[in-house]
Chain A
């Protein structure tokens, strides 16, 4: 009897990956509505060009400029930018966002979870988050620039700081949303309070934490760009402010386009990661 049961389990385990792959294949099929959306946007862009004229360059001009100046550009050197076209700036901004979101996200998640667990931690972190979280980036950025200089770490600190605030709030709220009966059930099965936290409360929070992560990621691009506009050696924000100085709208827009594409790809990566980690949840469209 038992050997039969084990065989049954192995069989189910074997069929599992096939099912997951099936899901992934379905997720990558292009959505006809998305295609219509993109086509509409491009149409609107051409329309904008027809109305506004040369200060709203058409998509093909912007895309061409994006590729022409991608790896190497004398024009960029002429603008006072370091040699190497868009690429080093895209890498700089992307690295800033990734580092800031990862470091800040981890810190914020930890302080949020701590605050949910301990009253002392709540008393310490809550006022910090409430006060500092409401300071607008345009007000905060000059301070960071004075304290940390023009180095790349300044941008990371700035992005990390705001990410930490967002994830702190999400993590704290997520723990509050965990069904208390699940914790009680774990306790009656013999789990210590500590184990119930790590094995029940924390996994129950993951879908909501991903919501926070996506929110933070979305604003992180803007934060990084603003930090670069205010002062940085590298980054897409730096390219935009330099090309703004000579009214080169095409270069500005191509920079934004590149950034948008990278942001979209990373967001798709987060969704894929979420769908994998939260494949046990009932719905996938929650976040």
Chain B
């Protein structure tokens, strides 16, 4: 991990014109630097700008002000240096598991031998080697999410953006994939920006939690907890303190963390 910021967001504004004519500030002068190799969780309630910020980072959403720099270069549109895992099931149903994982590499015009090696490696990493020739419809929701993760990792993007990727999965599958994602992150030292509204998920995953409210980043918390972040670690005084702070920001200050 270096101290040089990989991502620099400078006074980012995003103003939407609502159908009623009312203007909505989805992003309100956001300043943010993210170091290489960090695992950042954007935490906040629905409609407070988390997804807008992430989509702007991906280049899928145009800012109305400010600039986003990746390695000191302003981004313009989506690119292979920033992969994204969506909440929705985005695995291409007409491609086999193998071809799904190869999609990004082929789009980038990599040589065939390299594609084959990388795809095998990532299928192995997500435990789906035996399903290389299967159609996505033959897999469970959790397995399809693994395919999406493998596809994005295989694409080689140093920055991985995740928009509530486990939101639609059941509790056990979600915990399973969280653990799995942490392992991949530790092994590959990619930079991950992960959007969630689930405090527990942020506690399990993040090195750094950014709390968003009304389009602003209202707190920036270093999660200095040991890994793995199991139930016991999440019950330590420091973890409870972080939880309380976050809940306070989200507008539920009267209630205790338990």
Contacts and interface: CB of A to CB of B under 8 A. Distances in A.
B124 A191 contact: no
A41 B152 CA distance: 56
Interface string A148-180: 000000000000000000000000000000010
Contacts of B107: 186, 189-192, 195, 199
Contacts of B37: none
A119 interface: no
B121 A185 contact: no
Interface stretch (A214-222, A234-242, A278-286): A278-286
Interface stretch (B83-91, B216-224, B225-233): B83-91
A184 B93 contact: no
B103 A181 contact: no
B30 interface: no
Contacts of B98: 9
Contacts of B152: 188-189
B243 interface: no
Interface string B39-62: 000000000000000000011100
A5 B59 CA distance: 35
Contacts of B117: 2
Given A5-B120, A5-B129, A188 B94 contact: no
B136 A8 contact: no
B88 to A, nearest CB: 5
A188 B133 CA distance: 24
A1 interface: yes
B92 interface: yes
Interface in A185-207: 185-192, 195, 199-200, 203-204, 206
B130 A282 contact: no
B243 to A, nearest CB: 32
B104 A8 contact: no
A190 B155 contact: yes
Contact of B104 (A12, A189, A200, A282): A189
Contacts of A36: none
Interface residues of A, number: 35
Given A5-B120, A185-B86, A190 B132 contact: no
A31 interface: no
Contacts of B93: 280-282
Given A12-B131, A189-B151, A280-B94, A2 B83 contact: no
A2 B90 contact: no
Contacts of A189: 80, 83, 103-104, 107, 151-152, 155
A2 B129 CA distance: 9
Nearest to A179: B88
B135 A6 contact: no
A2 B92 contact: no
B108 interface: yes
Contacts of B80: 189-190
Interface of B: 58-60, 77-80, 82-84, 86, 88, 90, 92-95, 98, 103-104, 107-108, 117, 120-121, 123-124, 129-137, 151-152, 155, 157, 161
Given A204-B94, A280-B137, A281-B94, 4 more contacts: A13-B133, A182-B90, A188-B157, A280-B95
29 contacts: A2-B120, A2-B121, A8-B129, A9-B132, A11-B130, A12-B132, A15-B133, A184-B60, A184-B78, A184-B84, A185-B84, A186-B103, A188-B60, A188-B84, A188-B161, A189-B83, A189-B103, A189-B151, A190-B79, A190-B107, A192-B107, A199-B107, A200-B92, A204-B94, A206-B94, A279-B135, A280-B94, A280-B135, A280-B137
